[in-house]
Structure 1
Amino acid sequence: MKAAVDKDTCIGCGLCPSICPEVFEMQDDGKAGAIGDEVPSGAEDSAKEAESSCPVNAIAIEE
């Protein structure tokens, strides 16, 4: 499973790292980014929750 953040769409609200800090972090540009390429085992549900909670739909979780 992979996680990606569309930097052009992200507004930097910080919701995704608060929901799933194993997968997402706030980066130096003030926007969220995925940590690594793969979603760690056990973090799949929270990664999907972050995807569905993003207010601008900037997150994509692909299996």
Structure 2
Amino acid sequence: MTTSPARDLEGLPLLVSVPRAAQLLGISRAAAYRLAASGELPSKRLGGRVYVKSAALLDMGDL
């Protein structure tokens, strides 16, 4: 039994790592980093790491 992407988003923290965001979106890690760098995937840099705003994941497609 597989879970829906929307169900995967329940209970997420406000920020998630780029690799986790890529997994939830069904895209490659490299593509997620490119989207974050271009601003298409809203993100924050904290201590040298890049995190994606969880709310932005809901806005990306039919999640």
TM-score, normalising length from structure 2?
Answer: 0.30
Higher Cα radius of gyration: 2
Which structure has more relative contact order (CA 8 Å, sep 6+)? It is 1
TM-score of the pair, normalised by structure 1: 0.30
